[in-house]
Amino acid sequence: MAYKVFVGSLSWDTTDDSLRQAFSQAGNVLTANVITDRFSGRSRGFGFVEYETEEEANKAIELWNGKELDGRPIVVNMARPQGDRDDRPRRSSGGYGGGNRGGQSSGGSRW
């Protein structure tokens, strides 16, 4: 079983490779991923590092939480499974009723 660590407040300059290199100080890194925006390709400012053992994951938290990486203090803690994140705000799925988008409304000018 792999143990995943969440890494937040990352610099825009942090890459998968630099994340892997830094976090390898705590043990054998299985994966290191900086999460990027699917449209722009730019970092979203957080990522995940996976370790083989819970001890390595805990060591990474001890070593890196609050420390500086690529010029920014980072936040490191044990990642929560996706199912445990129900308390976060939900994004709208779009749908109808997007409001006035800059064109003239069908009812004429209100002002």
pLDDT tens digit sequence for 53-72: 999 999 999 999 999 999 99
Residue that the structure tokens 């976090």 belong to: 23
Q: Is 18 inside a domain boundary?
A: yes
pLDDT digits (tens, 9 = 90+) for 7-48: 999 999 999 999 999 999 999 999 999 999 999 999 999 999
Nearest to 4 by CA among 43, 57, 46, 47: 57
Q: What pLDDT sits at residue 1?
A: 87
pTM above 0.85, yes or no: no
- Residue found by looking up tokens 């938290």 in the block: 61
**Domain containing residue 11: CATH number:** 3.30.70.330
User: Is 108 domain-assigned?
Assistant: no
Over residues 2-6, mean pLDDT: 97
Assigned domain for 92 exists: no
Joined together, the tokens standing for residue 39 give 């449209």
